[in-house]
Amino acid sequence: MEKLRVEKKDIYTIEVNDKGETIEFDLADISLSFKCIKALEEIDKIKQNAKMREIAISKKEDVEGKYMSKKEEEILKVWQETFIEMRKAMDIFLGDGACKKIFGDRNYIEMYDDLMEQLLPHLDKMKISFDGMKNRIVQKYSEDKKNVIE
């Protein structure tokens, strides 16, 4: 059997936990910026949906339960579902299973704020923006390094 392998170049790797697990970003992939934007847009939609669901629940009549009220239980379920959806959304950009590597099974309110705080310096280094991608294309393909994309 014949084989064909295209060497991966321009891979940016980040260690994400104490187990030495990593996530990788293919900096040559022109869709990387789109994946980042899509993930962030999805996170915003998911948060907004959760807030709307929480407001709707808060307007219901409450019923006391053995350990917590019905409203409290419903709100906790909303946020549990929300975190599952948010993990899927971030994995669009970070790669399948990345949030599991980063957070394990732990979910907490500020987790995505914490993630973005840690991720921002890496986004700058990776030059994930239109200008960053344009500059990479210019450096790679332009003979005069000016009029490739303008």
What pLDDT score does 4 carry?
Answer: 87
Cα dihedral 75, 76, 78, 83 sign: positive
pLDDT beyond 80 at 141: no
Of 110, 109, 129, nearest to 120 by C-alpha is 129
Indicate the domain borders of the chain: 35-125
**Residue 44 is encoded by which pair of tokens?**
């915003």
Cβ-Cβ contacts under 8 Å for 137 (sequence gap 6 or more): 148, 149
Compute how many other C-beta atoms are within 10 angstroms of the C-beta atom of residue 3. Answer: 4
Average pLDDT on 122-141 reads 69
Q: What is the DSSP letter of 45?
A: H
Instruction: Name the average pLDDT for the chain.
Output: 87
Instruction: Give the integer Cα–Cα distance in Å for 99 and 88.
Output: 8
Q: Report the number of secondary-structure helices (H) and strands (E) in the chain.
A: 5, 2
Q: What is the pLDDT of residues 78-92, one digit of tens each?
A: 999 999 999 999 999
Q: What is the pLDDT of residues 19-35, one digit of tens each?
A: 999 999 998 888 898 89
pLDDT beyond 70 at 133: no
Reduced to 3 states (helix: H, G, I; strand: E, B; else coil), residue 35 is helix
Instruction: Give the integer Cα–Cα distance in Å for 149 and 133.
Output: 10
Instruction: Give the integer Cα–Cα distance in Å for 119 and 133.
Output: 18
**Residue 146 is encoded by which pair of tokens?**
């000016």
